Structure 1
């Protein structure tokens, strides 16, 4: 119950802040969103470009955890997961508030679970994330980004959404570790590092076992 109250409170506060306290929007916002979506990036700060694209990668990372976590939940995870591609944490926070701890996996792996379990999926996501982060650091104008963060509701709220999504990974990671019987302290520590730690964990984590026999997590635990 405490967790439900906490997540619902964060959700309400985030919505209230976004609408009432964030910087005002400006007429150029819609043009910026259209240009970012079309890939017309001339004249746009690489920090903004990378942030916008990372907000597309983060829901993919979450999908790699949500599709598995949702197997044992009473509520359907799909609407929250799909919504995260458009609304980020605004869509996921209600799921975190309503979900129950789920440390087991039963039944057969669907094609979608096999895809999100794949090491190739995790590798592709960490490569894409690294390229975007390095591009922003290498070519971006940090002073211009700070100015835009202070004066644009879109960039301001998107930045906070990004930070919140990175910090919320442990909510799902904790149960995923238990689901795979992972006791290795190094891997557990890596898993809780925001963003890149989560991606590294997804590459190193053992596959889910679909029966009661030990899986290869014993190798990592030794």
Structure 2
């Protein structure tokens, strides 16, 4: 049922994006050019702040996806992560739909997984988010942003994409499985994260316990297959 809901959200947004067709609008190239060349002073501060937050969201998902992807047999996290940095949920959602439930981690964390698993990474994302929001509130115009949301296709779609990123995080089973991998069984934590958009996931990344490294030994000769033992260095 969850995947059905996620699929409906995804396909609806894809169709809506094609209908709105932001790439056909002359103002899209101008806005994107100013964002990429850091000429943020020429834009309403809410736009670069939102653009930056759409860079924060893929990393939030990456902190769960790459650990999960290491245990997946049919799908990898890299393509969706890279694509999501440019297209948001359009490229992110296929991974969420194709992945299989996996509530254990067996293996050793490489440097990339180690970085994504650190609480310091979650703290850095949290501080970056606070900075983006403060920048928008102090230097931006909310009224102008509302006007642009209603009239500028790029701003309209990136705003919806941001909201859908917030919706999908608690909706996907990826979050449930990450909690299970870390031995978190208190459902109040799930609801606290689910009901607080953006900051709920960020605080979760700051406070979640580190992922334990294990190796799986198949002891067929002893008659005890698939036993997980702690990694001994």
- Give the TM-score normalised by structure 1: 0.88
Counterpart check, 1:202 vs 2:205 = yes
Matched with 1:148 is 148
TM-superposed CA distance for 1:165, in Å, is 0.7
> How much has 1:58 moved relative to structure 2?
1.0
Gaps in structure 1 of 5+ consecutive residues: 215-222
Q: Aligned-pair RMSD on alpha carbons?
A: 2.0
Against the structure 1 CA distance between its residues 48 and 64, is the aligned structure 2 distance closer, same or farther, given a 3 Å change threshold? Answer: same
- In the alignment, what sits opposite 1:60? 59
> Aligned residue for 1:188?
190
TM alignment of 1:116-127, pairs within 5 A: 116-127=116-127
Residue 35 (1) aligns with residue 34 (2):
yes
Aligned length in residues: 213
Shift of 1:175: 1.1
1:82-134, CA deviations, whole angstroms, 9 ceiling, x for partnerless residues? Answer: 11111110001111111111111111111111000111111111000011012
Shift of 1:150: 0.8
- Contact kept? 1:122, 1:202, Cα under 8 Å: yes
2:90 is the counterpart of 1:90: yes
Listed as ranges, the matches of 1:94-133 within 5 Å are: 94-133=94-133
Aligned partners of 2:111, 2:63: CA distance in 1, in Å? 12
Q: Report the Cα offset of residue 191 of structure 1.
A: 2.7
Larger Cα-atom Rg:
2
Seen in structure 2, the aligned counterparts of structure 1 residues 37 and 118 have a Cα distance that, compared at 3 Å, is same
In structure 1, the residue matched to 2:222 is none
Q: 1:157-172 residue pairs with structure 2 within 5 A?
A: 157-170=157-170, 171=172, 172=174
CA distance in 2, matches of 1:5, 1:167: 14
Show structure 2 runs of 5+ residues with no match: 215-227
Alpha-carbon distance change, 187 to 4 in structure 1, aligned in 2, over 3 angstroms:
closer
Contact 1:24 1:152 in 2 (8 A): no
Q: Which has the higher strand share?
A: 2
